[in-house]
Structure formats: C-alpha cells, structure tokens
Structure 1
C-alpha cells in the first residue's frame, strides 16, 4: 500500500488503534513533525504496528509516544485524532467507562482560558480577534436576513415612490420584514450569546445582558432617566460594542464569583449577582455614557451640516460607521424627520449611505488582493450582495472590522462618496430607509443620477484606499507564500515540456545557521532526527542566540510555538529549521521569531533570537537542526564541513 493512500481520518484512527486504543491515550498534541501522545500504559502500544501504518515515517516510544508524520500533515492528523476523541489538543481524553463530561468541559474551558492568557498579543489585535470570533458564526444569518431585508427595502421604497401599488404589496413586505426582524431586531441578544462564548461566560446570561439595551420592559410613559442628562434613555444606546463590553465585564465577574461562592449555592447566587451588577451597570452607566456622547455630537453634526459641500459630506460619510457601532446613529433620526418636514427630503441620508459604499469597495479590494484566501473570499461573496443593497453588518463585522485596516480605509471610501454627494448638493431622500442601491427609488426630484455618482465614488474610494493601504500584512504574506509554492512546480513543468529533455540536476547549498559547532544529523540526541526519519541534514550547537536562515528562499511556515520554521527554495527544496530538541513543550518562551510567512530570506537574514540560558534551565538540547524534508526530490547529499563554523558558512550540499 502506498504511503499516501490513507485519508487523514483513517490515519488518525489507525494511530489510535495501534497505540492501545483511544482509552489508552491520555492526551494528543503535535509539534512541527510528529504527533505527541501521553499514553496510560506503554505496554499496550504496538510499536511495529504504528511503523507499518502508511504515512507514518517513524516512532519514538519514550516518556511520550511520538509518531512522526512530517510537516504540513502532522497538524491535520493530530486535529483529526482529537476530533474523533471529542476533545481539544492537549486536553485529557476521558476513558469510555468514565462519565466526566461536565468535569471535562470545565477543564477544557480552564485550559483554553490559560492558553489564551499566555498568548502575547497587542490589545487591539486581541479585541479584533474577539470581535471576529463573535460575529463570524452569525454571517450565514446576516446574509440570509440581509437579502430578505434588501428585497423588502426595495419594495418599500418603490411603494413610497409610487412605482408599485401599496395595497397589493404591503402585505408581502410585512411578511419579509417579520423574517428579517428575526435577525436584526434581536442582534444584541445574539451578540451577547456569542460574546459570552468567546469570553467564557454563561451564554444565556450573555444573551440576557445583550437584551438589556433593548429596554423591552420600560414604560414609555415613565422612561428610565439618563443619569448624566436627566433625559429618557433610548433603546440600543451603547450599540453592539456596548453589549460586547458589558458581556466582557460579565465574564470577569462570573469567573471571580465562581471562585468565592460556595458550590452549594453557586448556581443560585452567581447568576443573580451577575445579572444585577452587570445589568444595572449597563442601564445606568454604559447606556447613559453613550447617550452623553450622542448629545454632544448633535452640535457637531449641525455645525458640519451648516458648512455644507464636500467637507461636510466627507466628514459625515467617514464617521457614520463608527457611530452605528456605538449606537450613536439614533441621534440622526430627528434631524432626518425635521429635514423631510421642512424641505420634503433629507439630504443627510444619501450622504450617510456612502458609508456602505465604502465597505463594498473595501471588500472588493480585499477580494482582488487576497483572492487565494479562500475563507475570506467566501465571506466576501456572501456579504457583498447584501452590502450593495444597503445591509452593511455582514461586511462590517465579518470582513473589514476584524481585519482592522480595511475598516478604516472603508470609512475613507465612505467619506469620498459623501464628499461627491455634498459637492453635487440637493441630493435628498423622501423617506428614511436603507442605503445602497435600495435607496435609489426614494431619491427626490429626479436627482438619482447624482446619488449613483456618489455610490460609484464610494465604491472606488473604498477600493483604492484599501488596495494600497488597507491590506493586512499577515494575510498578504500568507497569500504570497501560497503563490510562491504554487509557481515553482509550474515553472519546472514548463521547462521540461519545452526542452523535452530530462530535467538537469541542480545543487543547492545550505549554510550554518549560527556561530558554533556544526555536526552531522546522525549525531543528534533525538532519535527521530539522528535516524533521519524527517530527512537528511545537519545541526549547529550555537555559541550565541542569533539564528540565521539556512538557505535562500521563502519562509513557508512559522510554527505557533516558534520553535520551528519552514523554508522553500526557488528550485522546490523544502527545508525545516528545528530549534532545540523537545522545545515544543516550552510554548515559545525561549524564541523570538523575526520573520513571517511569505518573507524572502538569505543566509544573512536573522530569522530568530534564542535564549540559550532558558534552554539550559529547562534541560533542553540547544541543537539548531536543519533538514531537507522532501528527500524524494534529492539524489545525493554532501556534508561540506563540520566543526567550528560561522553563521552563513556553507556546510551542506544537496543535489
């Protein structure tokens, strides 16, 4: 049987079986090259059976049972194994005769929280990642409800404009709106539930905290007063970000209470205190604070409107999306109504509609620049149609906001569209309704062509600003790495077909990655490497922590625990730099990686800084191992030099 005939799932199942069964495996994890298992009884492991499994390159049965799979595939196999066990990587697998589901879930939550706490991320990146995790599960509902809402909006606007008969179509519009409101009327609740799952709070409590901003139980005749202004609170003040902040506070409080409240009364006391404390803070602090900001913006908006022209159009078009996120757009409704009563149309609404056009343009730019990013492009495909119809939530929360930069450049695009509308002037809408293309039937006095010019300017502005300034570097680097790896084989194929002769052999030179002692791979203290299960190569015992690239090429992989980096040369040679032995257990602590995926490197490029003292403290060998992992493409290797070498000195040839 060929080595690659098993699927990942079949390979995972066979590894479990040869390891003594799933009951004998306590935990599953992986590093750059091997699946690492903690087993309960090593005598039950069929070591030869593991070696005979197609796709297994070697086995080490030591303190851990290590099954060598190789880079690129090992993570898939490990993930398939934990999926079959119903746990996460590193999480204990319960034996079948035990019933510890609740304890297992609690332990999983604790481990995930601990792992998340150890990750070194900037607050902004962490916030954007959390926002993405909250809203990505809602994208399908956004898209479905958004399309329904877009159709209902177009029909409503056509009824208002007199294009179609209201007596005939109002009933159908009502049905569509009921379907649409199932998502958008209760968005705060869905956000609360998902935010609670992200922040490790109780999801139902998160939903309740989200629903608080709807003020559903408030008596309109005796409303709750804003503590800062004395005026009535308005539903949805604080917006979605207010809900996220409140649920974050909920998670913190709930975690503390679970620790201090006795277990016997925890289920009663903790949720009650959480709801009272966080709910009251939301009503009397978070929402009123947003209300104060709203009131302070009224004067600013009126001043901007008084200036008029392209300036006011740009400011309002660029600022509208952030206002929506904080729930501050509610302050504009009275201004719209006043304008319609005074002049027959609101010239503010077409300008604000340009914010959605900027989002559409930004999404198109992301699609063009990152078209190889399948996950992102699939989201964009679903969100674009509803964005064009004026439903912007899928693009905001699923695409541009989680990526950071594109949200800013999308706002700039909205400002450009708003500036065009402001410069044209006298472009108004006869009623308050959705934006995008759906607003065209409501444009007053036949000025719809000016509105379309504004939309096109918003699309173009968002596209250009994002294309040149808004593409996230990490996403672009990942796509470039895919392009690089995809192009090399094509060039070889073309050369062979054109010349119609066997491919000429080439020799690639590999270099010492540090100042120190260079040795043959056979001298490594790790049997996986010394037996060359992963490929041939060498290693350097470094004198200092500066580690350089072993070859000229492209960085293809940086392992999450930072202890391993993959490279690929233009000729297709795949090289693995593995820093230290068994250093995956250190979770990246001794390593500072100085390159990123997609980056071009040479032997003069420092790729990492290693804390050698920390390796010694943890009793980890400091071998900086370099291996050729695609040995099937290699006909011969030659060790050029051993002993003391300097970084960048040629030590190994590959033919």
Structure 2
C-alpha cells in the first residue's frame, strides 16, 4: 500500500526567492541536480532548510547536504563559483554526521567578500534525488522571504513500512554490482566523483566488465578518459558513490580530487553558451527522448516489421489473398504496434520526461480516435474548427513527433493545473483537463503546422522530380527519413497512393523504398562491426525489419542513437535515390524495400528493364550504405558517449 509524505522546506537564507530557471548556472537551472529553488540573500545567516542528518560538508565549505528521515537528499550550494574561494567566505557550524533541525543556524556567509571576489552570492537548494522520491515540489513562499520561513513543500513518495532503507538498498545493490564488475575492490586504486559520474582509478582496466556495467539498472553508460574508468550515473551519483565507499572503505576516497572534479565539470557546463551549442544540445535532448521512448518497444516493432514484410511478399506472389481471414488476423498482429504507436509512445515518453504516463497514453488514444482519423482522411472534412478556432485534422496513426511534444508539455501543464485546482478536486479534474489541453495543442497547433510544411515539401519535391528525376531522388532520398521523424512525410503518401490508383505506378515510391534499404544497410554495418552483444542483436533485427519495409527499429533503436550512423545512412540514401531517379525505376504497388521486389515487376511485361533497374539501385544502395557506415559511420567508441545527461563533461575531463 502506497502513501505520501509532505515535507516542508524552509528558506536557508533571508532574501529574494527565485525559481531555479533564473539561476545563472546551467547545472542547476536546467534541473540537472534536481528540483528546488534559489534565494538572493541579504544577510549572512544560513540555516538548515530541513531537519535531518548532515551528509556532506564540502572541503571548500561552499556546500552542505542534509538527508531527511523520509529519504530526501537536500543540497544547499552557497554562491556560484565560490568553490574557487577555497572556503574563505564561510564559517561552517556543522560537520558530517550531525543531526540538525529546520531553522538551525549552520553557516555564516560573508556576502561582501564573495561580491568583492566578483562572484554571485545566490544560495541554491536542490533535492538531488528528486527523480527517485518526489511526486512534486510546490513553491509556497512569496518573493521576499525570511530565513527559517516555510517556502516550499515536497510531496514525497513513500511505501508503507519502508523509508530510507528502500533507497539505500537500491544503491547498495547497484554499488555491489559495480564493484564486482570493475574487478573487485582489489582492482581499485581510488575513487572520486563529479556531478554525474563515478571516476575509478583501476589497477587493470581490462578486468572491468564494461558490457555488464552498462546494462545495470541505474547506470547510463561507461566512458574511459584521462586514465579514469568513468561510470555515468546521473543525479544519483552521490548516493551511489556513498554506497560504494561504504562497501570498499574510506581508504579509497580522495576528497580533494572529488571537489576539484565537481568544480571543473560545473565550470565546463557553464562554458556552454551561444546559439549553436544550445541548438545542438536541444537536438541531442530531442533525439535522446525519441530513442529512450522507443527502446522498450524496439523488439516488437522489429518483429512486427518482419511479419508485415512476409505478408507483403505472400500477397505479392498471390500466395495469400488480402481479403482472407488468415491475412486479416496476421496483418492485425503485425500492424497493431504501428497503428497504436502514439498510445504506446505517450506512455514511454511520459515516463522519460516526467509527465503522467496514463494521461499521455490517453492523449495518444485521442489522436488516433477512429472518427478523427476518418475525418482527417478526406479533404472535405479535414478542415474543421474547435469553438470557432479553425484547424486541420491530421491522421496521427503511426506518428511519433506529436506525442513526444505532448509528453514534453505534459509535466508543465500538470504542474500549472495543480497550482490552480484545489487538492480535493485534483484526482478528477487534473487528468481530464491535462488530456484536453494537450490534445488541443496537437490538433490546433502542431497538426496545421505539420500539414502546411509537409504539403509544401511534397509539392516542391514533385516539381523537382518533373524537372529532374535524378535530382529529386538525391534530395528526397537524403531527406525522407528525417521527414518521417517529424511526421512531415504524410504529404507524400497521398501522392503515392493517387499515382498508383490513377496511373498504376509511382516513381516517388521507388525512391522512398531506397531510403528503407539505406537505413537497413546502416544497421547491418553496425551489426557487422560492433562487438557489443546487445547492440549486435538489436541491429540485426532492425536490419531485417528495414529490408521488410519498416525502418522504425533501425531509426530509433540504433541510427539516431548514434547520430553519425543516421547522417551517413542518409548520404547513402541520397546517392541511391539519385541512381533510382536516373534509372527511372518505377513501383507498381504500395510495397518496397528488399522484400517488396514483386512491386517492381511491370504488370503485363514481367521481369524486364524496370526490375533490373530495381536490382541495381536497391542493392547498390545497400552496398554503399554498409560500406560507408562500416568505414566512417560507426565505431564501438561511440558506445561510451551515448546518452550522457551531462554532455558538457565531454568538453574536458578533470
């Protein structure tokens, strides 16, 4: 039986209350250290914001930590870049292991000395294990607060008969597995940590079982740099570090080196400025969410893709009728995952982004509600309005991008609704209103924008094809899979369907077929090159699925995750598209890739020049994609760089 605990947080200093987003430090303002708030202090007295046990007093006196009885880890950071002042402005009245009460004086902070040194005096509070224990953190204070005044309330998850031991057991178990797989305590010289990583100095790195460590629940990845074996943990790094030290002993610590690593990685994070780094970080975050949301369903996507490919081949050879009961049932099994993709992604993306998974699953269901899909499928009914606001309905069946946008917005909408709706009404009104708001954002905002852009792109690409099939193949081949990611490809599908229905063939579908082969060739190259067993298995399944005409497992399971693979695959796809256009390869059915080869046999003629053009263009694209990715697109070194939540640490290794 689950229950919740409410913990009040008092202001650690008197002054102006700020949200974390206004703190000029990306480590805190982006929530990388957890939820919290900040204060611009106007007095030197710093008090304990909660009651609990002091778990940390930094050597440079600029930060301290307290763990509450309910398991919340509170970090108070005194000033920005004050670590460089080596403790001079601070008089610390507590030590690690002390029991403190909320409002108790713990530090004297010399504001003038900090200001004279050109540093900010901002006092920052963060709940560093927010992801593990918090439902939410509500700011209740006004703009001006007094030290010791209640300014926030934590809604802490708690399980009956289990308090902090639950969290402790989890980190203890992870610590045990990490120690065992780095070669045991006997293989460790020393251990430090920074803001996201455990940094081991090992006697023999070859004894470390990297593949096992990477797959531990709670470990993001492993990196090797500067003579360190770095295990990337994320926000819970201090908890895991403490658990490791508890097991191997304090003799392995180096507090000075740890303080230096934390200071250096914090400083490196703040170097990320300007438009391009922010754009790059935004793209990386978006791709990270896409791939992380897709990973739980990659297996069934790949299996479904293979099944759909087999069915396409059977119907192409007239072995199975598309109207038979056997086909209908098997097609439902293969197609359901793709049809209901927004529902599944709503759930997985919400878990990744901190939104309500059930609400986002419902939003996904709203997007593919049968009546809406039917209306969106006809030009005469697609244009409609909601309370007088005009909108264009779009079919979101099998879509990815819109539900990711909804999941990202979900936590902000939910937080807003909780602020304005009384507690006793939240369980009923917050979920339905959140679902309504997010659905309207997609229908009224995202849908029309995607429609306009996709129609414009489609018209442009068709015009280019009429001018030069080879140029059109180059552009469409290179861009199509990127269009798929953002849902912009839907403008081309009606053109393909109309071509086949009206003319009996489609040149454009031949180029789209090439893009599937190129993505499949890319993951095949990764399969051939990687030594990572898990990645090898995923890559092979994704390659087969792509050759059957379904690229989602290749895109989201591998190629986008290792971005250079996707870029190189798109280059190969552009080359293959140009070749397809040059040869004027035609397609005679809504099928393609390697398993859809019957769709390239000219009706009434049989195997002839068009089919030979198909073989040349598709297998040449396969060869080009495999070779380019194998030589230039992938290396196992990329495994150590993936999904690090603090990319800034790659700037410099302390």
TM-score normalised by the chain length of structure 2: 0.55
Task: Give 1:379 shift.
Answer: 0.9
Asked if 2 retains the 8 angstrom alpha-carbon contact of 1:357 and 1:458, the reply is: yes
Task: Select 2:594's aligned residue among 430, 436, 460.
Answer: 436
Q: Give 1:561 shift.
A: 9.7
Q: Which residue is equivalent to 1:292?
A: 452
How many Å apart are 1:34 and its aligned residue? 7.8
**1:174 aligns with one of 311, 314, 328:** 328
3-state secondary structure, aligned to 1:217: helix
The answer to whether the aligner puts 1:217 opposite 2:217 as a matched pair is no
How far does residue 441 in structure 1 lie from its aligned partner after superposition?
A: 4.2
Are 2:418 and 1:277 aligned?
no
* Partner Cα distance (2:532, 2:484) in 1: 29
Cα 1:261–1:311, aligned 2, differ >3 Å: closer, same or farther?
A: same
CA distance in 1, matches of 2:320, 2:439: 46
Q: CA deviation at 1:374?
A: 2.6
Aligned to 2:580: 421
User: Could you tell me which residue of structure 1 aligns to residue 411 of structure 2?
Assistant: 251
Q: CA, structure 1 residues 81+469, in 2 after alignment: closer, same or farther (shift >3 Å)?
A: closer
CA distance in 2, matches of 1:406, 1:460: 15
Aligned residue among 327, 331, 336 for 2:491: 331
| Cα distance in structure 1, aligned partners of 2:646 and 2:457 | 46
Residue 366 of structure 1: how far off its partner (Å): 2.2
Aligned match of 2:283 in 115, 124, 131? Answer: 124
Decide whether aligned partners of structure 1 residues 448 and 229 sit closer, same or farther in structure 2, where only a CA change above 3 A counts: farther
Distance 1:78 1:304, change over 3 A: closer
From 344, 354, 358, the equivalent of 2:504 is 344
Tell me the distance in 2 between the aligned counterparts of 1:258 and 1:450.
Answer: 61
Partner Cα distance (1:361, 1:468) in 2? 13
Asked if the contact 2:470/2:577 (under 8 Å) is kept, the reply is yes
* Match of residue 511 from structure 1: none
Structure-2 change in CA distance of 1:202 and 1:308 (3 Å) = same
1:398 aligns with 557
Matched, 1:194 2:348: yes
Distance 1:192 1:82 in 2: 23
Pick the aligned partner of 1:307 from 454, 467, 489.
467
* 1:500-550 residue CA offsets vs partner (Å, 9 max, x unmatched): xxxxxxxxxxxxxxxxxxxxxxxxxxxxxxxxxxxxxxxxxxxxxxxxxxx
Q: In 2, are the aligned partners of 1:212 and 1:282 still within 8 Å (CA)?
A: no
Q: Give the Å deviation of 1:179.
A: 0.8
Q: Which residue of 1 aligns with 2:131?
A: none
Asked if structure 2 preserves the Cα contact closer than 8 Å seen for 1:79 and 1:89, the reply is: no
Per-residue CA distance 1:563-594 (angstroms, 9 max, x = gap): xxxxxxxxxxxxxxxxxxxxxxxxx9xxx676
2: CA distance between counterparts of 1:56 and 1:473? 27
Counterpart Cα distance in 2 of 1:308 and 1:377: 39
Counterparts of 1:235 and 1:349, CA distance in 2: 20
Please tell me whether the aligned partners of residues 546 and 593 of structure 2 are also in contact (alpha carbons under 8 angstroms): no
Deviation, structure 1 residue 312 = 1.5
Determine if contact 1:320/1:329 at 8 Å carries over to the other structure: yes
Q: 1:413 to 1:185 in 2, by over 3 A?
A: same
Q: CA RMSD for the aligned pairs?
A: 4.5
Return the match for 2:359 from 194, 205, 222: 205
- Counterparts of 2:320 and 2:528, CA distance in 1: 41
1:543 matched residue in structure 2: none
Secondary structure of 1:324's match?
Answer: helix
1:464 equivalent in structure 2: 627
Question: Equivalences for 1:192-591 in 2 at 5 Å?
Answer: 192-218=346-372, 220=375, 223=381, 225=383, 232-236=392-396, 239-259=399-419, 261-369=421-529, 371-425=530-584, 427-444=585-602, 445=605, 446=607, 447-471=610-634, 474-475=637-638
Separation in 1 of the partners of 2:613 and 2:628? 22
Match of 1:571 in 2: none
Does the aligned pair in 2 maintain the 1:82–1:89 contact within 8 Å?
no
Contact map agreement 1:224 1:232 (CA 8 A) in 2: yes
**Contact 1:357/1:413 (8 A) holds in 2:** no
Q: Check the 8 A contact 1:294/1:328 in 2, yes or no.
A: yes
> Residues of 1 paired with 2:217 and 2:313: CA distance?
50
Q: 1:358 to 1:200 in 2, by over 3 A?
A: same
Shift of 1:249: 0.7
Tell me the distance in 2 between the aligned counterparts of 1:208 and 1:382: 30
Aligned 8 A contact 1:413 1:458 in 2: yes
Cross-structure match for 1:535: none
Q: In the alignment, which residue of structure 2 is the partner of 1:525?
A: none
Equivalent pairs counted in the alignment come to: 411
* Greater percentage in strand: 2
Aligned to 1:27: 168
* Residue in structure 2 matched with residue 51 of structure 1 by the alignment: none
Q: 2:314 aligns with which of 150, 155, 162?
A: 155
The Cα of 1:469 is off from its aligned counterpart by: 3.8
How far 1:406 moved relative to its partner? Answer: 1.4
Alpha carbons of 1:229 and 1:389: their partners in 2 closer, same or farther (altered >3 Å)? farther
Larger CA deviation: 70-79 vs 317-326: 70-79
1:311 CA displacement: 1.4
Query: What secondary structure sits across from 1:345 in the alignment?
Result: coil
Say if 1:412 and 1:461, in contact at 8 Å, map to a contact too: no
- Structure number with larger C-alpha Rg: 1
Q: Distance in 1 between matches of 2:645 and 2:439?
A: 38
Q: Is the 8 A contact 1:403 1:472 kept in 2?
A: no
DSSP-derived class of the 2:168 partner: strand
Query: After superposition, what is the alpha-carbon deviation per residue over 1:205-227, rounded to whole angstroms, capped at 9, x for unaligned?
Result: 11122233324233638835267
Shift of residue 464, structure 1, vs aligned partner: 3.4
Shift of the 206–298 alpha-carbon distance from structure 1 to 2, 3 Å rule, reads same
Is residue 2:337 matched to residue 1:183?
Answer: yes
Deviations 1:123-166 (A, max 9, x none): 2222222222101110111122112111111112222xxxx464
Q: Identify unmatched segments of 5+ residues in structure 1.
A: 1-20, 37-53, 61-68, 93-116, 480-558, 563-587, 596-606, 609-655
TM-score by length of 1: 0.54
How do 1:36-51 and structure 2 match up within 5 A?
A: none
Cα distance between partner residues in 2 of 1:406 and 1:80: 25
Give the deviation of 1:286 after TM superposition: 0.7
Moved more, 233-242 or 299-308: 233-242
Give the conservation status (yes or no) of the 8 Å contact 1:213–1:238.
no
Residues 420-464 of structure 1, C-alpha deviations (whole Å, 9 max, x = no match): 111112x22222234332243443243222111111122123223
